[in-house]
Amino acid sequence: MPARIDLEQRRRDVIEAAFRLLVAEGVSGISLRKVAAESGWNIGSVRHYFDDHRDLLVAAATEIGDRMGRRLTRHSADALAGLRGEVAVDALQEMVEELLPIDEERRVESIVLTEFIVAARVNPVFRPVTEQMAADVRTVFTDALGALDVPEPAEEAERLVAVLGGLVLDSVTPHGSLGVERLRKTLRAQVRSALAAVPDPAPSPPPA
């Protein structure tokens, strides 16, 4: 068992090193040799887990998706059912913020994911991972909006995904350089808009 734990930790160390290089240099700056040096392991140890730098990058992209997915699972659609008003706004905002760069961990993830999405435009090796992540987010948002009784939840989920993507891009690039306060304020406006069409609950029948 200790040997297994050591091997798993070593693999995580290599992926974390790849994240740091992706943030600093982008996809084009990645090589197994650089990642090995950054991780503190020799190139042979890195090759034990990854055949080449593309294999490593796909593993890194998958890890980002897994991390985001694990955070989203904290917010089940069932827990949102029946919520109204500010309670519903807060709950949906909290869910979507799991994917916003509002702290250092999520900022790193957002930068790395943005690098992979851009790379996938010309490099098909990244497309299955990034496309699956996008599909999963749409499904989670659609289920959440449906639980909140939003009309046409799939359509509203598309708008929410579009706003999320724009906010992430404007936060992690010089294009917008949005701060956390502006991110949250803009997202809240979209969440309010999404929930504005939720019908009021039917009044309770008068007592007999």
What confidence tier does 198 reach under pLDDT thresholds 50, 70, 90? Answer: confident
- For residues 69 and 12, state if they share a domain: no
- For residues 18 and 109, state if they share a domain: no
- For residues 37 and 90, state if they share a domain: no
- For residues 44 and 70, state if they share a domain: no
- For residues 44 and 71, state if they share a domain: no
pLDDT at 45 over 70: yes
Please indicate whether residue 201 or residue 145 has the higher confidence score (pLDDT): 145
d(CA 113, CA 23): 10
What's the CATH number where 33 sits?
A: 1.10.10.60
Dump pLDDT digits (tens) for 86-139: 999 999 999 999 999 999 999 999 999 999 999 999 989 889 999 999 999 999
- For residues 131 and 68, state if they share a domain: yes
Over residues 7-29, the mean pLDDT reads: 89
Instruction: Give the total number of structural domains in the chain.
Output: 2
Q: Supply the range of the domain harboring residue 37.
A: 1-50
The answer to whether 23 and 111 have CB atoms below 8 angstroms apart is: yes
Cβ neighbours of residue 168 closer than 8 Å, sequence gap 6 or more:
99, 100, 101, 110, 113, 114
Helices (H), the chain: 2-25, 32-39, 43-49, 53-72, 77-80, 85-97, 104-120, 127-147, 153-172, 180-195
d(CA 102, CA 171): 9
Dump pLDDT digits (tens) for 160-194: 999 999 999 999 988 767 789 999 999 999 999 99
In a domain, 44, yes or no: yes
What average pLDDT does the chain have? 89
